[in-house]
């Protein structure tokens, strides 16, 4: 059932434009070699795809919101939060 | 039809009947009861469409033994089928009057508001997703195009919950889209695309393609297209035809014979 659910999700993400960022593999605790291989390959694949296009979207939005709040002079500590969110992005 | 409904109410075959009534020229859902039997004369089929089975679900939730009669078009029947499967309604307690529905080659006339989406304007065609598209039409675009087009649509969301509220097969007591720890409160648009994808995944094996969600959406997000695609995948992956079978949804089954292999890393 897991394989079907994951296939479903992979197809849905492909429809949305986020193909290839979800992978399912069965690896036994005795298959250290396979584990290393899968992780290496997947890491390489993700690196080829580049950063998640959705990442930062929310972060930038938050940064902008916080900046607006700072502009209103609501809270000094917000400035730090802006810096933190910026660094995260 | 009216005489038959009157007979049902008088003989106690049903305790109440859900249908439509013309009020000031508008066709509105109405609950007909034995105590006001004269109202049945105003019962009409009309062109409008509401999720009558959703009203029936709400009534049944508070009065489990009540017997309900209702008007049913094809979409209502599919929704009823899904609600029976999910144990929200008992088929023994529901009586339907089946009415004319979508036109086909055999009959030209249909009693329905159709809910045909309007074709998109120039701007939306360039940056968004046209409501008249079929799921296959999006395959003309590459991954980044698809994402930006869907994000354009989703970002319009004003989180009115209209799609969920009108949906005949949305019956959860607690909705994960209203959970303050999952969906940030007081923020617009909601966290996209997660907000819409959560609903899309919940529609898998449930959506009966009535199109009421898209009709209710004030910002014209092509939800019907999204849920159509979701159920296409359900047919491909699970071999489950939502609405037309009486089998349990594949998402409520824990184990099954493995017929698929996981996709290889190199496949895409």
Q: Are the CB atoms for B112 and B49 separated by under 8 Å?
A: yes
Q: For B198-237, what is each residue's pLDDT tens digit?
A: 999 999 888 988 888 888 889 989 998 899 899 999 998 8
Split chain B (268 residues) into runs of 10 and give each run's mean pLDDT.
85 89 86 86 82 90 90 87 88 86 67 70 83 84 87 89 91 86 80 87 88 88 90 88 80 70 70
Exposure class string for B190-199: b at 16+ Cβ within 10 A, else e = bbbbebbbbb
Q: Are the CB atoms for B71 and B20 separated by under 8 Å?
A: yes
Inter-chain CB pairs, A–B, below 8 Å: 79
Q: Residue A68's pLDDT is what? A: 52
Half-sphere exposure of B63 (CA within 13 A, CB side): 9
Tell me the nearest-neighbour CA distance from A57 into chain B, angstroms: 10
Please tell me the distance from the alpha carbon of residue B129 to that of residue B125, in angstroms, as a whole number.
7
**Residue B184 falls in which region: left (phi positive, over 0), alpha (psi -120 to 50) or beta:** beta
**Residue A38 falls in which region: left (phi positive, over 0), alpha (psi -120 to 50) or beta:** alpha
**Closest among B76, B24, B60 to B209, alpha carbons compared:** B76
Could you tell me the pTM of the whole model? Answer: 0.79
Q: Are the CB atoms for B60 and B77 separated by under 8 Å?
A: no
Closest Cβ opposite residue B143 in set A19, A26, A38: A19
What pLDDT band is residue A62 in, cutting at 50, 70 and 90?
A: low
Q: Hey, what are B261's tokens?
A: 């292999």
Tell me the nearest-neighbour CA distance from B134 into chain A, angstroms: 12
Closest Cβ opposite residue B193 in set A6, A16, A45: A16
Q: Give the angle B229-B224-A5 at the CA atoms, nearest 5°.
A: 35
Closest Cβ opposite residue B262 in set A11, A19, A25: A25
Chain A residues closer than 8 Å to B231 by CB: none
Name the strand (E) or helix (H) holding B94.
strand B94-98
Phi–psi pair at B30, nearest 5 degrees: -145, 145
Q: Residue A28's pLDDT is what? A: 92
A8-17, A40-49, A79-88, B27-36: lowest mean pLDDT where? A79-88
Q: Are the CB atoms for B211 and B115 separated by under 8 Å?
A: yes
Please tell me the distance from the alpha carbon of residue B133 to that of residue B84, in angstroms, as a whole number.
31
Q: Residue A59's pLDDT is what? A: 46
The torsion angle over the Cα atoms of residues B194, B197, B203 and B205, rounded to 10 degrees, is -120
Q: What percent of chain A has pLDDT over 70?
A: 62
Here the ipTM equals 0.80
> Which residue numbers of B have CB closer than 8 Å to A's CBs?
135, 138, 142-151, 191, 193, 197, 200-201, 204, 229-230, 233-234, 236-238, 250-251, 253-256, 258, 260-263, 265, 268
Q: Look at residue A24 and tell me whether its pLDDT is greater than 50.
A: yes
Q: Residue B103's pLDDT is what? A: 64
Strand partners, B23: B26
Q: For B81-96, what is each residue's pLDDT tens digit?
A: 889 888 888 888 888 8
Q: Give the residue from B191, B227, B237, B251 with the most A CB atoms within 10 Å of its CB, the best one to mutate.
A: B237
Q: Residue B107's pLDDT is what? A: 65
Q: Are the CB atoms for B224 and B213 separated by under 8 Å?
A: yes
Q: Look at residue A42 and tell me whether its pLDDT is greater than 60.
A: yes
A18-22, A73-77, B60-64, B132-136: lowest mean pLDDT where? A73-77
Per-chain mean pLDDT for chain A: 76
Between A7 and B112, name the one with better pLDDT: A7
> Looking at the complex, does the CB of residue A42 fall below 8 Å from at least one CB of chain B?
yes
Q: Residue A73's pLDDT is what? A: 45
Sequence-separated contacts (24+) of A24-30 with Cβ below 8 Å? A24/B262, A24/B263, A25/B262, A26/B262
Closest Cβ opposite residue A3 in set B204, B251, B260: B260
> Looking at the complex, does the CB of residue A15 fall below 8 Å from at least one CB of chain B?
yes
B230 to chain A: closest CA residue: A12
């Amino acid at each position: 059932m897991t394989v079907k659910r994951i296939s479903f999700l992979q197809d849905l993400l492909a429809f949305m434009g986020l193909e290839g960022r979800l992978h399912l593999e069965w690896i036994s605790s005795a298959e250290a070699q396979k584990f290393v291989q899968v992780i290496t390959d997947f890491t390489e694949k993700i690196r080829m795809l580049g950063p998640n296009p959705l990442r930062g979207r929310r972060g930038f939005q938050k940064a902008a919101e916080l900046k607006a709040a700072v502009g209103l002079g609501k809270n000094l500590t917000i400035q730090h939060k802006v810096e933190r969110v910026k660094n995260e992005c | 039809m009216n005489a038959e409904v009157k007979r049902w109410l008088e003989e106690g075959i049903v305790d109440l009947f859900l249908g439509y009534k013309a009020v000031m020229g508008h066709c509105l859902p109405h609950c007909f009861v034995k105590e006001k039997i004269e109202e049945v004369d105003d019962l009409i089929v009309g062109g409008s469409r509401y999720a009558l089975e959703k009203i029936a679900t709400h009534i049944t939730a508070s009065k489990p033994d009540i017997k309900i009669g209702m008007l049913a078009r094809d979409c209502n029947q599919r929704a009823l089928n899904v609600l029976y499967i999910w144990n929200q309604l008992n088929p023994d307690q529901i009586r339907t009057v089946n009415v004319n529905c979508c036109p086909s080659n055999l009959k030209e006339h249909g009693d329905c508001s159709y809910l045909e989406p309007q074709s998109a304007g120039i701007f939306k065609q360039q940056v968004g997703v046209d409501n008249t598209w079929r799921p296959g039409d999006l395959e003309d675009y590459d991954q980044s195009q698809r994402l930006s087009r869907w994000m354009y649509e989703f970002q319009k969301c004003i989180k009115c919950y209209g799609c969920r509220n009108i949906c005949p097969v949305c019956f959860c007591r607690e909705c994960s889209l209203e959970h303050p720890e999952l969906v940030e409160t007081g923020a617009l648009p909601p966290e996209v695309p997660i907000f819409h994808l959560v609903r899309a995944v919940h529609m898998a094996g449930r959506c009966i393609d009535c199109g009421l969600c898209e009709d209710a959406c004030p910002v014209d997000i092509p939800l019907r297209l999204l849920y159509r695609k979701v159920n296409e995948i359900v047919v491909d992956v699970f071999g489950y035809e939502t609405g037309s079978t009486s089998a349990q949804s594949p998402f409520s089954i824990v184990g099954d014979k493995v017929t698929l292999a996981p996709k290889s890393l190199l496949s895409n």
